[in-house]
Every structure is written in structure tokens, then in C-alpha cells.
């Protein structure tokens, strides 16, 4: 293994899901729903397979039906913010958001370029920045005392920009903290990007899981459309994480750049599933609101359960994750806590420290996923209460 990757080891999600399987514990670690997405969308995949659509290499940028559906989805949800994309030149289908992140960084970074990322950050960011030869500059989201939420320190963000900064890698709604960046925060990010002539890659895979307020795509802010690569995921939006269908929307120049990298990573993927996701994106508004409302109710069940069990809960405004502080339980070390939790309580969670460069900053925080049935969440909460 080369030096760029050696630091990263096995992803925490694989490690913790294996632990859940070995111990039979309830898996609130890796973020995947325990119920598959809509039946009609699964049927659409079966039809595509059976009718011989997508069983051979689909077109490199993605099938036209899916690119059109992505563009229509952006228009439907963000058209009122002035955002729309041309399906032929401004949409690229990827093997999940994961490939979109990798291809964007591989396409846009020169060796030695600095990338600003919000810490704690999704684990593939650090590895992909490293693979692209970039160096990461974390800006730490910190709990605001007394508010039960995290915030972005805008001075720290501004201070992180140097002459070597090439791009900001943003994520809102934010995994693992559940933070949804506010209009003011996004305005500040946009102003900074324009002022310092930075690109932004923005991971908005939880765009439909905003429980309070609305999702604001960074690309809709002044001066941002031409410098922003926006990433979405069918895995997250339609609960098909195994299908690995994601997409990029960006200017023609940026889309072409990301496609240049993507063509040598996977070339294409998910043929029949692309047809099914095209249908999913056209589901009526009711699908999206029901999905969000369901997860909001689940958030409340798990947040209340964790509070009753003695955790300090950072109530998430978005995503399907809850970050907690374990210090009220007399614990300090999230790693040790998560490794012992299956034995002690029959539950698996993720230590947030893995999402930090400054590991000690993340030490007492632990993440629980709530994209699970109500019964599972209640059972997990009951077990944690007996800790
Ligand atoms: N970005 C974030 C913030 C995520 O939480 C995830 C995980 N699901 C991904 C990207 C990867 O998405 P996909 O499964 O579509 O590759
Ligand atoms: N995004 C999911 C999470 O944060 C997991 C994805 C993965 O396993 N790579 O839990």
C-alpha cells in the first residue's frame, strides 16, 4: 500500500458493520436504511433488466433519461432559487456520490493544492484528497455551548484560505453532526469562494432530509453556479444504497472535467438502475415530504431515547444521524465506548473521532444512525438506557 493511503486502513463503516454481524447487535453505525426504497422503483429496475435496457455499457455521462430526470429534479426543487442545469452538458451520472467526490477531486486538484473541509468530515474525503495528491486543511465545526448544535466559525474558515487553496469541500446537511448550514453561513462561504477565486465541491446527498427550514444549494448563491460542483445520491434520497447511483451537476467546463476522471475510474456503472432512478426522481412531491417526515419522527424517537439514556444529544436539523457527547455517562473515549458497546448494550455506533484530523477534538462524540424501523430504534433506546 502506498504512503498516500497507508494512513487510512479499513473504513470505520466496514469495521463497525462487521462488529454488528459478529455480535448480533443492533447496527446504528453504518448509515443505511433497514427498509428498501419504493416498490415501484424496484419494479422499474426489474423491467429495465428484463427488457434489456442498460445491461450493456450505458453512455459515459449517464443515460439521457437519467440526466434529464436529474435536471428536472433540480428545476423542480431549486428552480425558484434560480438554479437549473442542461441535461446534456451539465449533468454527470456517477457510481454513487462516493465516485462523484473522488472524480471531482482527481479532476480538479494539482498535487500540493490545499482543500478546505469541514471537520468532522465524511471519511472518504480525506482519502480522496490524499489520492489526488492534495493536502487537507480542516476547519472544525464546534458545538456551541448551551444550544445543542454545531456551528461553523467563519473567521476560522477565512483564516484557513492560503495562496495554495484550490477548493472548499463542503457538506450540507452535514454528516455526522446533522448540521444544516444557514443562509448566512452559505453566503459567507460563497463570498469567500468568489473573493479568493476558489472552486467548491458540495456534497448535498442529504438534500431531502432537512427537518427544519429548507435545503439551500450552495450553487444557487451569487457567483457560485460557475464554480460549484454539486453532488447528489440515489442511495440516500431513495434508500437504495446498494445501487450506487449518484450524480454531479455543474457548469459544462466543470462537468467535463469531472467526467474526464470518471471515465478512467469506472467508465460507467449501474446500467439498469439508472433507468429506475430516472423514474424515482420523477416521483411526486409527496414521496419526498413523506420520506422527510418519516425520518423526522425517527429522529425524535432516537433523540429522546438517547437523552433519556443520559447522552448529550446534538439534535440534528438534517441527515439521518445523531451525534452525541458521551461525557455525561462518565465516558471520555468514543473509540473504546463504541468497541465495547455491542457487549455492554447490544448496539453499534460510530466514534466521530475517525472523522477528525484533530482526533482529540472528536474523542467524546459518538454517532447513531436513525434510518431504521421505529421498533428497532425503540429497542436500541431501551438497551442504551440500561447502560
Ligand atoms: N457523502 C456523504 C456525506 C455520505 O454520508 C455518504 C454516505 N452515504 C456519501 C457521500 C456516499 O454516498 P453514496 O452511497 O451515494 O456513494
Ligand atoms: N455514508 C454512510 C455513513 O456515513 C456509509 C457509507 C459507507 O459505508 N461508505 O454511515
Angle between helix 39-50 and helix 271-281 axes, rounded to 10 deg: 140
Ligand 1 pocket, 249 CB below 6 A? Answer: no
Domain ranges across the chain: 3-30+286-385, 39-283
Ligand 2 centroid – CA 82 distance (Å): 31
Decide: residue 16, CB within 10 A, 0-12 exposed, 13-18 middle, 19+ buried. buried
Number of H helices, E strands in the chain: 15, 15
Q: Is the ipTM of this complex over 0.90?
A: yes
Ligand 1 centroid – CA 385 distance (Å): 30
Q: Each residue of 305-321: pLDDT tens digit? A: 999 999 999 999 999 99
Ligand 2 neighbours, Cβ below 6 Å, are 11, 13, 30-31, 175
Q: Does domain 39-283 have CATH number 3.40.640.10?
A: yes
Ligand 2 centroid – CA 204 distance (Å): 14
pLDDT at 213: 85
Low-confidence stretches of the chain (pLDDT < 70) are none
Ligand 1 pocket, 173 CB below 6 A? Answer: no
User: What b/e sequence results for 241-269 when a residue is b if at least 16 CB atoms lie within 10 Å of its CB, and e otherwise?
Assistant: bebbbbbbbbbeebbebbbebbeeeeebb
Ligand 1 pocket, 324 CB below 6 A? Answer: no
φ, ψ of residue 73 in degrees (nearest 5)? -65, -45
Ligand 1 pocket, 269 CB below 6 A? Answer: no
Ligand 1 pocket, 239 CB below 6 A? Answer: no
Ligand 1 pocket, 96 CB below 6 A? Answer: yes
Among the bound ligands, name the one nearest to the CA of residue 237: 1
Nearest Cα to 134, choosing from 97, 174, 94, 167?
167
The domain 3-30+286-385 is classified under which CATH number: 3.90.1150.10, 1.10.357.10, 3.20.20.60, 1.25.40.320?
3.90.1150.10
Nearest Cα to 226, choosing from 259, 264, 198?
198
DSSP character string of 338-366: HHHHHHHHSEE-EEGGGG-SSHHHHTTEE
Ligand 2 centroid – CA 31 distance (Å): 5
C-alpha cell at 130: 490524499
C-alpha cell at 119: 471537520
Q: Which atom of ligand 2 is nearest to the CA of 14?
A: 8
Ligand 1 centroid – CA 206 distance (Å): 9
Q: Atom 7, ligand 1: which residue's CA is nearest?
A: 31
Residue that has been written with the C-alpha cell 429495465 in this structure: 48
Ligand 1 centroid – CA 329 distance (Å): 30
Ligand 1 pocket, 30 CB below 6 A? Answer: no
Identify the three-state secondary structure at position 211: coil
In this structure, are residues 361 and 153 in contact, taking their beta carbons and an 8 Å threshold?
A: no
Candidate of 173, 203, 229, 236 to mutate for ligand 1, largest count of ligand atoms within 8 Å of Cβ: 236
Q: Atom 1, ligand 2: which residue's CA is nearest?
A: 31
Amino acid at each position: 500500500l502506498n504512503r498516500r493511503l497507508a494512513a487510512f486502513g479499513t473504513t470505520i463503516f466496514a469495521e463497525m458493520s462487521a462488529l454488528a454481524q459478529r455480535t448480533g447487535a443492533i447496527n446504528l453505525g453504518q448509515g443505511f436504511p433497514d427498509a428498501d426504497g419504493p416498490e415501484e422503483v424496484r419494479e422499474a429496475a426489474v423491467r429495465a433488466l428484463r427488457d434489456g435496457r442498460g445491461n450493456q455499457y450505458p453512455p459515459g455521462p449517464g443515460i439521457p433519461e437519467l440526466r434529464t430526470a436529474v435536471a428536472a429534479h433540480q428545476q423542480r426543487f431549486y428552480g425558484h432559487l434560480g438554479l437549473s442545469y442542461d441535461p446534456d452538458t451539465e449533468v454527470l451520472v456517477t457510481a454513487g456520490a462516493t465516485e462523484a467526490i473522488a472524480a471531482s477531486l482527481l479532476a480538479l486538484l494539482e498535487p500540493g493544492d490545499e482543500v478546505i473541509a469541514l471537520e468532522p468530515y465524511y471519511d472518504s474525503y480525506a482519502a480522496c484528497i490524499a489520492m489526488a495528491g492534495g493536502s487537507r486543511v480542516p476547519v472544525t465545526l464546534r458545538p456551541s455551548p448551551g444550544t445543542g448544535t454545531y456551528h461553523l466559525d467563519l473567521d476560522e474558515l477565512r483564516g484557513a484560505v492560503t495562496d495554495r487553496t484550490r477548493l472548499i469541500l463542503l457538506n450540507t446537511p452535514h454528516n455526522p453532526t446533522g448540521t444544516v448550514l444557514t443562509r448566512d453561513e452559505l453566503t459567507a462561504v460563497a463570498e469567500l469562494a468568489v473573493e479568493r477565486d476558489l472552486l467548491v465541491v458540495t456534497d448535498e446527498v442529504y438534500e431531502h432530509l432537512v427537518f427544519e427550514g429548507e435545503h439551500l444549494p450552495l450553487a444557487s448563491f451569487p457567483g457560485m453556479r460557475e464554480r460549484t460542483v454539486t453532488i447528489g445520491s440515489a442511495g440516500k434520497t431513495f434508500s437504495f444504497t446498494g445501487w450506487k447511483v449518484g450524480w454531479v451537476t455543474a457548469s459544462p467546463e466543470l462537468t467535463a472535467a469531472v467526467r474526464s476522471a470518471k471515465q478512467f475510474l469506472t467508465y460507467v456503472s449501474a446500467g439498469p438502475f439508472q433507468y429506475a432512478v430516472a423514474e424515482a426522481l420523477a416521483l411526486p412531491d409527496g414521496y419526498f415530504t413523506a420520506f422527510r417526515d418519516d425520518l423526522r419522527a425517527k429522529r425524535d424517537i432516537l433523540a429522546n431515547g438517547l437523552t433519556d439514556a443520559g447522552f448529550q444529544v446534538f439534535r440534528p436539523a438534517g441527515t439521518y444521524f445523531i451525534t452525541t457527547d458521551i461525557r455525561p455517562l462518565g465516558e471520555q473515549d468514543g473509540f473504546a465506548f463504541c468497541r465495547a458497546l455491542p457487549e455492554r448494550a447490544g448496539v453499534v455506533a460510530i466514534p466521530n473521532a475517525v472523522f477528525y484530523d484533530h482526533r482529540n477534538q472528536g474523542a467524546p462524540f459518538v454517532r447513531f444512525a436513525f434510518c431504521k424501523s421505529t421498533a428497532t430504534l425503540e429497542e436500541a433506546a431501551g438497551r442504551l438506557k440500561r447502560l
